[in-house]
Structure 1
Amino acid sequence: MHESPYLEGRGFLVDKLLRLPFLGSLSEKYIKQILRLSKIRTFEHGEIITPEGAYDPWVYILFSGGVRIVKKGKEIARIEEIGAAFGELAAIDGKARSASVEAIGATVCLAIDASFMNEATEPLEQALFVSVLYRLFAEVIAQRLRDSNVELIRLRSELDRLQRSQR
């Protein structure tokens, strides 16, 4: 992994981040706050971005490349949409990573230190900012749950078909 310094003062990135699906609904003020404790990380093909079972506060936004989500050695998903977020579960509950994330090809991500959510200077400002981010996290999780439900129905239908053919 190659990592930039923290991105505070890199105003040229604000417009780019405002065009991403995950961050597009935030104000410029909040984007600048996120940049203050964010880094750009680049990974080579096959490199582990976050290992299953690890504890860390980082949330990632995909800038280029893609990632495989791997649980107990099995690929369970891929993320290849530019602007997609991953790592939000650990940021929400502080528990260990539920799966590993591995780079597909050369991959570039914005790595956001989610511990920054506790660092706003004014309590009201902090509460507003954190609620906006949690709303964004909830949207990501809701879409993943919907996708998982579709896959579960497909697998159950396939299992039913296989069981009927065995009779």
Structure 2
Amino acid sequence: MQESPYLEGRGFLVDKLHRLPFLGSLSEKYIKHILRLSKIRTFEDGEIITPEGAYDNWVYILFSGAVRVEKHGKEIARIEEIGGAFGELAAVDGKARSASVQAIGPTVCLAIDASFMSEAAEPLEQALFVSVMYRLFTEVIAQRLRASNEELVRVRSELDRLKKNQR
């Protein structure tokens, strides 16, 4: 992994981040706040970005490339859309990573230190910022839950079909 210094003062990135689905709805002030505790990380093909079971505070947004999500060594998802986010579950519940994430080809991510949510100067400002970020995390989680539900229905239907064919 190659890593940039923290991105504080890199205002030229604000426009780029506004074009991403995950951060597009945030105000310039909040994006600049996020940049203060963010880095750009570059990964090689096959490199593990987050290992299953690890504890850390980083949420990632895909800038280029793609990633494979694996649980117990089995691929469960891929994130190939620029602006796709991962790592939000650990930021929400503070528990260990529920899956490993591995780079597919050269991959570049914005890595956001989730501890940024406690860094706002005023309590009211901090509460507003945290609520906005949790809303964004919730949208990502809800989208993944809907996709998982669809997959579960598909798998159960296939299982029912196979059981009927065995009779």
TM-score (norm 1): 0.99
Aligned to 1:37: 37
SS across alignment from 2:59 = strand
1:124-135 aligned within 5 A: 124-135=124-135
The question of 1:166 aligning with 2:157 is answered: no
Q: Partners of 1:139 and 1:148 in 2: how far apart?
A: 14
Q: Partners of 1:165 and 1:46 in 2: how far apart?
A: 40
Q: Which runs of 4+ in 1 moved over 2 A?
A: none
1:55-134 aligned within 5 A: 55-134=55-134
1:18-33 aligned within 5 A: 18-33=18-33
SS across alignment from 1:66 = strand
Instruction: Summarize deviations over 1:98-141 as a string: whole Å, max 9, x none.
Output: 00000011000000000110110100000000000000000000
Aligned to 2:11: 11
Aligned to 1:53: 53
Aligned residues with identical type, % of pairs:
86
Q: Partners of 2:84 and 2:73 in 1: how far apart?
A: 23
SS across alignment from 1:107 = strand
TM-score (norm 2): 0.99
Q: Partners of 2:62 and 2:80 in 1: how far apart?
A: 8
- Which segments of 5 or more consecutive residues in structure 1 lack a partner in the other structure? none
Q: Partners of 1:84 and 1:24 in 2: how far apart?
A: 12
Instruction: Summarize deviations over 1:25-46 as a string: whole Å, max 9, x none.
Output: 0000000000000000000111
Q: Aligned residue pairs: how many?
A: 167
C-alpha displacement of 1:91 = 0.4
AA aligned to 2:144 is: R
